[in-house]
Amino acid sequence: MMEEERIAIGIDLGGTNIKGVLVNETGDVLHSLTAETAGSTPWKEEVMKMISALKTISADVKHIGIAAPGLSNSLNSLIAFMPGRLQELQGLDWSLYLQENVIVLNDAHAALIAESRLGAGKGIKNLLMVTLGTGVGGALLIDGKLHQGFLQRAGHVGHICLDSEGSPGILDIPGTLEEAFGNVTVFKRSYGKFDSALSLVEAYKAGDTLATYLWLTAVRKLSLALCSLINIVSPELIILGGGIAKAKTALTEPLETFMQLYEWQPGGEKTPIVLSGFNDFSGAIGAALHTLTYKIT
Tell me: the pLDDT tens digits for 120-148?
A: 999 999 999 999 988 899 999 999 999 98
- The least confident of 3-12, 87-96, 157-166, 232-241 is 3-12
First to last CA, the chain: 29
CA dist 100 and 149 (Å) reads 27
Give residue 214's identity as a one-letter amino acid code: L
Average pLDDT score over residue span 269-290: 90
Instruction: Give pLDDT, residue 296.
Output: 46
Q: Between these two residues, 192 and 87, which has the higher pLDDT value?
A: 192
Average pLDDT score over residue span 186-191: 96
- Would residue 130 be called left, alpha or beta, if left means φ above 0 and alpha means ψ between -120 and 50 degrees? beta
Please say whether the dihedral angle defined by the alpha carbons of residues 102, 106, 109 and 111, taken in this order, is positive or negative.
positive
Instruction: Give pLDDT, residue 297.
Output: 40
Give residue 14's identity as a one-letter amino acid code: G
pLDDT category at 217 given cuts 50, 70, 90 is very high
pLDDT category at 294 given cuts 50, 70, 90 is low
Average pLDDT score over residue span 60-89: 87
Average pLDDT score over residue span 215-226: 98
Tell me: the pLDDT tens digits for 22-61?
A: 999 888 899 999 999 888 788 999 999 999 999 998 877 8
CA dist 99 and 192 (Å) reads 43
**b/e for 70-105, b at 16 or more Cβ within 10 A?**
bbbeeebbbbbebeebbeebbebebbeebebebbbb
Q: Is the pLDDT of residue 2 over 60?
A: no
CA dist 108 and 280 (Å) reads 12
DSSP 21-85: EEEETT--EEEEEEEETTSSS-HHHHHHHHHHHHHHH-TT--EEEEEESSEE-TTSSSEEE--SS
Average pLDDT score over residue span 164-192: 94
Tell me: the pLDDT tens digits for 106-122?
A: 999 999 999 999 889 99
How are beta strands 17-24 and 273-275 bridged, if at all?
unpaired
Q: What does pTM read for this prediction?
A: 0.87
Instruction: Give pLDDT, residue 1.
Output: 35
Q: Is the pLDDT of residue 170 over 70?
A: yes
Instruction: Give pLDDT, residue 74.
Output: 87
Average pLDDT, the chain: 91
| β-pair partners for 147 | 140
